[in-house]
Structure 1
Amino acid sequence: MRSQNSKSNIEAGANPAEPKLAATILGDCTVSLWGLTATERLKRSFVRAGVADCRSDGDPLPQSGEVVLVRADYLFEERLIRDLVARPGVILAIDRRTETGGSARVAVAAHVDAARAEQVAAALRDGPLGGQNVAGLAVLGPDEVGSAYNHALRKRSSPYVLSLTDEPRAAIEHRMFHGAYKGVTDFVTKWLWPAPALVVTRLAAKLGYSPNFITAISLFLVFAAMGLFAQGEFLAGLVSAWLMTFLDTVDGKLARVTLTSTPMGNVFDHGIDLIHPPFWYVAWWYGLVGPLGSTIDGELAAYLAPALWIIVVGYVVGRLMEGLFIWLFRIEIHAWRPIDSAFRLFTARRNPNLALLTVGTLCGRPDLGFLAVAVWTVLSLLFHGVRICQAAWLRRSGVTLQSWLSEADRRKTA
């Protein structure tokens, strides 16, 4: 891990006598990915990793402290930049195809002390390492520098480094987009949205739309769907609701591929996601029983109010159970074991519930779709309640709970 001294110099008011951390980009690359040139992307990545001093090729190398050196003609996954910043004394190398069809070990980045920066920078410019030992530094691959477990996206995926001169731009953008997807999510987001979301995200980046702009449109659609549901216009409301969930996928991917996610943007996006579903359910219920609602069987109508309570209270309790699991065991319940990740595909959250409401509406029975959501909410709560009890029992037995996606858990079960 990076020393505390190195970290503290990034913060305002650091002691000038302590070692500093700077970054230098070797070369320049104008290949544009998602509206950012490779050089601009690297600078943005370093700032997001806490390195304020980012220098271009031709600027003098730092004379003291530590230096992260990267080649501009390669694309580095953002988390790999963060890991490299936290890993001094290494050269990052990849295996690159040669013109003869073989492969060669090529140095693409390094984290060194300033005294060795000139020598290592020359080695990076040369590229192929052969069998040489550069400044006595460890030569590591992306999997050795970074972690295969991406905690933020709840998935296992090897951190990547891609040559911007070997791969077509469309293929690189495709890899970046799918690399920005969460591994544990619902079936709509995982299986139905990726292909159209790639097209819309690319268009949004080309037009220069910000993720917050897309989120603002989503918020408008939240209110549109709620109003339509309350009027008993269920099909029209579902169109608005599904468009909202689609844009909810687009804004997150746009933020990640353009490196424009911010704490405020995350609060805006996740706040909307967290709050709006209960209002949709209340509006749906009102659309069924209110003066503008649909004509439904009087006998069945008696079950709708209890169903509403089950759905709304169940939603709140479900989110509290997820938070309780994190608080008790320091992992997300959906990332604990494979069965939990699989159940997340269909658990009673917004998108699976919308699917039930859509099926009911298309069959001419929006009331039955509503009751189905209530039943599924109860079953989901029971499942998660059992899982919390099982986790508590295991911890009481001395077992340390870890996500099946984490490296430690993978080694344990291998």
Structure 2
Amino acid sequence: MTENGSEARAATAVLAGASTVFIWGMSSAERLRRQLARAGVQDVRADAEGVSPDADVMILRLDWAYEQRLIDELAIRPGVALVAGGAAAAANVKGAQAAEAVAEIGAGRVPDGLEALDSEGLAGSYNRKLRKREIAYLIPLDERSVAEVEARSFAGSYKGVTDVVTKYVWPRPAKAVTKWCAEREITPNAVTYLGLALMFLALFLFWNGNFLLGLIPAWIMTFLDTVDGKLARVTMTSSKFGDVLDHGIDLIHPPFWWIAWIWGLPKAGFEVPHADLMIWIIVGGYIVQRVFEGAFIRLWGFHMHVWRPFDSFFRLITARRNPNLVILTALTLVGRPDWGMILVCAWIVLSLVVHLAQLVQAMILSRHARLVSWLDAA
């Protein structure tokens, strides 16, 4: 720890050995440089020459693939060697020891005086950012392991608690499209902009009562919403602007789609006797749900959807964009888009009742014990 209480962080990294393998269109060296930059390490070298004797120096072998959590943790853990299967893959040492440590790590040996930790020992088993329990991967890197590394890194970019479509339908095609984009250096923001255009196209078609036609760009947009985030994570090209753009679109557009759908029903020949009530349910339900979620995080420090196993299950089907689109698609395919919107409104109300119950239960239980996510519990 530094004097002001923040964590001390290695400022220099040495990349040891060599690798000719490419992952997601990047060389091993380029991938590690991007990972180190995300961990706040900008001084990346090929050897330890000229390193300050008192500096904390990270040493990483190029013939290993590291999950980002391992890089982040190793950067703030001096005196530690990262090992797998009895072989050393990386370390954080003092500059005075760096030259010798590079040789030792390059040979797969743990330098004298370092604490040897495996992936779980260094980074734990719970990924709070992505809301899932998973030990960070550390994989020897060669031509035969590229597919495994890409599969693990892609899976590692996925939230463990999300809706049923994102969790079970999109992963396989999204991985293929992410790979295609990465190899052609298509940026995540470019994918987001395409999704934005499709979002407006779907809105226009819904507004005019062209529901089946509008569902096509709507579903493609939701698919690209998965791809852009995964592309940013696996290629380490995320940015604050891109994150704000992506999450801003996600946050704002769903209720406008449902309102456009209601306004489009008369144009498609369907009566909407309670249109005003339906719009109030959509807008009010969307706002209240977000308030519930925000209040839970503010009060107890984690998302309500990862509190208990039931809460994580209910996140699969709660009245968010993708589950609502499933309802609308199913009813539109049988010729009743009006019934589809009635069911969506009913599901919004029922989901709010469940979330209110979650919030009340948490308030009662928190009086007697500290609330902990079931994914984070020992």
Deviations 1:246-281 (A, max 9, x none): 000000110010001112111010000000011101
CA distance in 2, matches of 1:280, 1:77: 37
Q: Which amino acid aligns with 1:111?
A: N
How much has 1:56 moved relative to structure 2?
Answer: 1.8
Answer yes or no: is 1:353 the counterpart of 2:324.
yes
Partner of 1:401: 371
Answer yes or no: is 1:199 the counterpart of 2:189.
no
8 A Cα contact 2:205 2:214, kept in partner: yes
Partner of 1:100: none
Q: Which amino acid aligns with 1:93?
A: V
Partner of 2:39: 49
- After superposition, the Cα gap between the structure-2 partners of 1:5 and 1:23, relative to the gap in structure 1 and judged at 3 Å, is farther
2:99 to 101, 105, 118: 118
Answer yes or no: is 1:36 the counterpart of 2:26.
yes
Deviations 1:337-375 (A, max 9, x none): 111100000000000001111011001000000000000
Structure 2: runs of 5 or more not aligned: none
Answer yes or no: is 1:294 the counterpart of 2:268.
yes
8 A Cα contact 2:15 2:44, kept in partner: yes
CA distance in 2, matches of 1:128, 1:116: 14
Q: How is 1:4-153 mapped onto 2 (pairs within 5 angstroms)?
A: 21-57=11-47, 59-95=49-85, 105-128=86-109, 134-153=111-130
SS in structure 2 at match of 1:377: helix
CA distance in 2, matches of 1:174, 1:24: 27
Which contiguous aligned blocks of 4+ residues in structure 1 show a shift greater than 6 angstroms?
A: 5-10
1:306 to 268, 277, 284: 277
How much has 1:3 moved relative to structure 2?
Answer: 4.2
How much has 1:387 moved relative to structure 2?
Answer: 0.5
- After superposition, the Cα gap between the structure-2 partners of 1:9 and 1:183, relative to the gap in structure 1 and judged at 3 Å, is closer
Answer yes or no: is 1:370 the counterpart of 2:320.
no
Percentage of pairs with the same residue: 47
* Worse overlay, 22-31 or 380-389: 22-31
Partner of 1:189: 166
TM-score (norm 1): 0.88
Partner of 1:102: none
8 A Cα contact 1:338 1:404, kept in partner: yes
How much has 1:307 moved relative to structure 2?
Answer: 1.6
SS in structure 1 at match of 2:375: coil
Deviations 1:172-227 (A, max 9, x none): 21221112111000000000001111111111111110000000000001100000
- After superposition, the Cα gap between the structure-2 partners of 1:342 and 1:153, relative to the gap in structure 1 and judged at 3 Å, is same
8 A Cα contact 2:81 2:114, kept in partner: yes
SS in structure 1 at match of 2:160: coil
- After superposition, the Cα gap between the structure-2 partners of 1:6 and 1:106, relative to the gap in structure 1 and judged at 3 Å, is farther
SS in structure 1 at match of 2:90: strand
Deviations 1:52-106 (A, max 9, x none): 21112475444331111111110110111001111111111100xxxxxxxxx10
SS in structure 2 at match of 1:220: helix
Deviations 1:19-41 (A, max 9, x none): x6311111232311111111111
Answer yes or no: is 1:344 the counterpart of 2:321.
no
CA distance in 2, matches of 1:283, 1:21: 52
How much has 1:6 moved relative to structure 2?
Answer: 11
8 A Cα contact 1:28 1:57, kept in partner: no
How much has 1:5 moved relative to structure 2?
Answer: 8.0
CA distance in 2, matches of 1:4, 1:41: 32
8 A Cα contact 1:24 1:61, kept in partner: no
8 A Cα contact 1:186 1:351, kept in partner: yes
Partner of 2:305: 334
Task: Give the aligned length.
Answer: 378
TM-score (norm 2): 0.96
How much has 1:171 moved relative to structure 2?
Answer: 2.6
Instruction: Give the root-mean-square deviation of aligned CA atoms.
Output: 1.7
SS in structure 2 at match of 1:168: helix
CA distance in 1, matches of 2:144, 2:133: 23
SS in structure 1 at match of 2:269: coil
8 A Cα contact 1:197 1:246, kept in partner: yes
Q: Which amino acid aligns with 1:327?
A: R
CA distance in 1, matches of 2:80, 2:113: 9
SS in structure 2 at match of 1:345: helix
How much has 1:170 moved relative to structure 2?
Answer: 2.2
SS in structure 1 at match of 2:317: coil
How much has 1:119 moved relative to structure 2?
Answer: 2.6
CA distance in 1, matches of 2:295, 2:92: 39
- After superposition, the Cα gap between the structure-2 partners of 1:395 and 1:347, relative to the gap in structure 1 and judged at 3 Å, is same
8 A Cα contact 2:14 2:58, kept in partner: yes
CA distance in 2, matches of 1:174, 1:308: 42
* Worse overlay, 54-63 or 310-319: 54-63
Partner of 2:195: 218
CA distance in 1, matches of 2:73, 2:48: 25
Structure 1: runs of 5 or more not aligned: 11-19, 96-104
8 A Cα contact 1:25 1:70, kept in partner: yes
